[in-house]
Structure 1
Amino acid sequence: MLSLKRYIVCDVETSGLSPRHGGRVIEIGAVACEDGQIVEEFGTLINVDCSIHWAAERVHGISRRMLAGMPEPEEVWRAFQSFIGGCPVVAHNATFDAAFLRHEMTMLGMHMNNRFFCSLALSRKCLPHLPNHRLATVAQHLLGALPPTIRLHRALYDARLAAKIWMALDR
């Protein structure tokens, strides 16, 4: 299919549903992939000064208390920008992740011109028979039972899982 040589698979956990309504990235997880392998990882909670919507907290379990003492946004986004470089970025529901990532970078006067690919869209194209295309559903279909150590809706775990999905679909 696309056969990207080196790419980044990324996931974010957020304080709300949209950056236009004050939502912020509170956790970032990303893995660098080369030749069908995860070769590097990047992940951290972010000490963002914002409230976390109760529905978002219920999904990912990240509270304001957990963000205290974590790296500040500028430190995280500069390190993330260095990690991804000019590589293409894959995300499961890339429109959502890209909007948040670009918003965070723009607030700091940074730019993110990386090309995005969507594992959600690819799964819908390749696996139209699935009842839904949530990360866990697609992963279980392609990879079998998920290990008990997987913590869905935490950024680095979801990025790793999305990378495995992308690798399986992009054969």
Structure 2
Amino acid sequence: MQANSLVVLDFETTGLSPNMGDRAIEIGAVKIKNGEITESFSQLMDPGFRITGFIEDYTGISNHMLKGMPSCAQVMGEFSDFIGDSNLVAHNASFDKRFLDAELALLSKSYSGQFACSMLMARRIYQNAPTHKLGDLIRYKNIPSDGGFHRALYDSQMTVKLWLTMLEDIKQDYGLKDISFSLVKKLIKTPKKSVHEFLNNQK
């Protein structure tokens, strides 16, 4: 599988940990094939309880907006179908993977694709970036943005742009024609000081 054909996703949630009872309140995802966006998925969902004022302010999603929305079970069932057998990418993927795994486990569903983290990749490719937060990386690479971060579909769309920019930079800097998802998985685990040597050896 090529690294430019996958699903990029982002959750907005009621808190930081599904183990503490937190739930998803929005999922946004973009499917890309050969570097082109082919489909997107965006849906608010009712977690079954009121969200805090902090989360309302942080996400821009209010209790009023969630009223009458489909349940997490309904949305995540549909999202499982959207993923199919695709590989997955998220910025700070450990967070999104926790919620995806927890929500699908409640439905006795799983997925066959593998996860990669665009933040861990950026830490290796853009070691001089001031931070590796999504918004800061978008600015660092001068990727066009209207700055509306912390809504799921928008963050997914920006992560797609960052992901494809990183793949293109790797290709140009190291003379690679194609980049596989398995190469990306190895790159993410490579120590920062060894990245240059690792990529040079991929030619």
TM-score of the superposed pair, with normalisation by structure 1? 0.92
Alignment map for 1:39-78 (pairs within 5 Å): 39-78=38-77
Give SS of 2:7's match: strand
Tell me which amino acid in the other structure corresponds to 1:169.
Answer: M
Give RMSD over aligned pairs: 1.5
Shift of 1:79: 1.0
The aligned residue for residue 125 of structure 1 is: 124
Shift of 1:71: 1.6
Question: How far, CA to CA, are the matches of 1:144 and 1:117 in structure 2?
Answer: 21
The aligned residue for residue 12 of structure 1 is: 11
Instruction: Work out whether residues 3 and 170 of structure 1, in 8 Å CA contact, stay in contact via their aligned partners in 2.
Output: no
Instruction: Work out whether residues 15 and 50 of structure 1, in 8 Å CA contact, stay in contact via their aligned partners in 2.
Output: no
Structure 2 residue corresponding to 1:170, chosen from 164, 167, 170: 167
Structure 2 residue corresponding to 1:156, chosen from 147, 153, 160: 153
Question: How far, CA to CA, are the matches of 1:124 and 1:3 in structure 2?
Answer: 21
The aligned residue for residue 185 of structure 2 is: none
Unmatched 5+ residue regions in structure 2?
169-203
Question: How far, CA to CA, are the matches of 2:9 and 2:148 in structure 1?
Answer: 15
Question: How far, CA to CA, are the matches of 1:146 and 1:131 in structure 2?
Answer: 18
Q: Deviations over 1:112-138 (max 9, x none)?
A: 342101000011111111121111111
Alpha carbons of structure 1 residues 133 and 3: separation in structure 2 relative to 1, 3 Å: same
- Single out whichever of 45-54 and 156-165 deviates more from structure 2: 45-54
Q: Deviations over 1:132-156 (max 9, x none)?
A: 1111111112234523xx4210000
Tell me which amino acid in the other structure corresponds to 1:65.
Answer: H
The aligned residue for residue 33 of structure 2 is: 34
Q: Which stretches of structure 1, 4 residues or more, deviate above 4 A after TM superposition?
A: none
The aligned residue for residue 135 of structure 2 is: 136
Give SS of 1:143's match: coil
State the identity %: 37
- Single out whichever of 138-147 and 43-52 deviates more from structure 2: 138-147
Alignment map for 1:98-113 (pairs within 5 Å): 98-113=97-112
For CA contacts below 8 A with separation 6 or more, give which structure has more relative contact order. Answer: 1
Shift of 1:62: 1.1
Tell me which amino acid in the other structure corresponds to 1:160.
Answer: Q
Tell me which amino acid in the other structure corresponds to 2:124.
Answer: K
Instruction: Work out whether residues 86 and 112 of structure 2, in 8 Å CA contact, stay in contact via their aligned partners in 1.
Output: no
Shift of 1:3: 3.7
- Single out whichever of 3-12 and 18-27 deviates more from structure 2: 3-12
Tell me which amino acid in the other structure corresponds to 1:112.
Answer: Y
- Single out whichever of 51-60 and 23-32 deviates more from structure 2: 51-60
Tell me which amino acid in the other structure corresponds to 1:157.
Answer: Y
Question: How far, CA to CA, are the matches of 1:36 and 1:153 in structure 2?
Answer: 24
Structure index of larger Rg: 2
The aligned residue for residue 196 of structure 2 is: none
The aligned residue for residue 184 of structure 2 is: none
